[in-house]
Amino acid sequence: MAELNKTYPFEAVDVDPDQLEQIKNFYDDTFLTFFTTRYGPKGYLFPHNFGGLGAEIYNMELRPSDTFVVTFPKCGTTWTQELVWLMANDFNYEAAAATNLNTRFPFIESSILINSNAMPTIFMDETIKETMQKNICLLEKVHNLPSPRFLKSHVPLSMLPANLLDTCKVVYVARDPRDVAVSFYHHSDLMKTLKEGSDFKTYWNLFIKDLISWTPFFEHLKEAWELRNHPNMLFIFYEELSRDLAACARRIAKFLNKEVTEEQIEKLCDHLKIDNFKKNKSVNLKEMQQIGVFNSKGSFIREGKVGGWKKYFDEEMIQQADQWIEENLRDTDLRFHQ
């Protein structure tokens, strides 16, 4: 660990035993791994073995032509990836349809998700092995990708390379945490990480206690908000994308130094409509359901609604959320779009 700390300044601390029990009582780690260790002064929650990969990511060699999409999970990441990739690649819909998004736009820390005990079983089946290799990224692959590279991460900005914003472009997407929690709950159920009968209210209480992967949510968000005026940073709210996708697409085009026509924007917005997006085989991860890694019910692209949380929160949770949001935004001018 001492050697690692020379190039990786984030100390690892195990989650408090009582909190660890709460996680274990709620999660199933048959296939995907528990996030049980806090990294750095803000205590971001990752698997215990993240340090090795974290150091590789923190020290990875960047290129000026790289484009990152960075978000807390379930903030419109996939939607934004597809938008950015198509715009940067001259709206090549044929190439996008022919190639899995996770191949075009790798999720750089995805290898930490897989429970190492499940690996031998997974890779006994060639179909499963092939599908997993399409969707799970080894950082070595990223190093060897041709330029320009398009890279996705949920790692907070402070734990990505220190020269990230001075070297390449970053699109950061933020979303109301109540909608994030609902979407992440359904996503976790889809990925079979929740125990049978796990309820949303329990999930919500783990979320606000920073006991869900990649939390604390507000620290992640505020890091990006503080850097929003950097010329290589584009900070967008999911709610803006939902309300006026065309306007956001024009902002992204300007950020990427791409000239676009209104016809191109119109076609792109139609391509990204939620009903069309759900049917898009290159982004909806249906293969993962077909091999049994994901739950057969539900879908990776779900509803994409703003304010959908209202169906899930009782009065106690509404008051709890209001207080939690107010406390965390007290010393910042960050406010969520409605």
Residue 294 clears pLDDT 80, i.e. is over it: no
Q: Answer yes or no: is 38 within a domain.
A: yes
Residue type, 213: S
Secondary structure of 32-89 as H, E, C letters: ECCCCEEECCCCEEECCCHHHHHHHHHCCCCCCCCEEEEECCCCCHHHHHHHHHHHHC
Q: Answer yes or no: is 337 within a domain.
A: no
Q: Answer yes or no: is 251 within a domain.
A: yes
Q: What is the pLDDT averaged over residues 135-156?
A: 91
Q: What is the pLDDT of residue 154?
A: 97
- What is the extent of the structural domain holding 46? 2-329
Q: What is the pLDDT of residue 208?
A: 97
Residue 309 clears pLDDT 70, i.e. is over it: yes
Residue 130 clears pLDDT 80, i.e. is over it: no
Q: Answer yes or no: is 334 within a domain.
A: no
The position carrying tokens 């990224």 is: 137
Q: Answer yes or no: is 279 within a domain.
A: yes
Q: Answer yes or no: is 335 within a domain.
A: no
Domain count, the chain: 1
Q: What is the pLDDT of residue 136?
A: 72
Residue 128 pLDDT class (50, 70, 90 cuts): low
Which pTM does this prediction carry?
0.91
Q: Answer yes or no: is 338 within a domain.
A: no
Q: Answer yes or no: is 138 within a domain.
A: yes
3-state secondary structure of 308: helix
Q: What CATH number did the domain enclosing 82 receive?
A: 3.40.50.300
Using only C-alpha atoms, the chain has a radius of gyration, in whole angstroms, of: 19
Buried b / exposed e over 68-85, threshold 16 CB at 10 Å, is bbbbbbbbbbbbbbbbbb
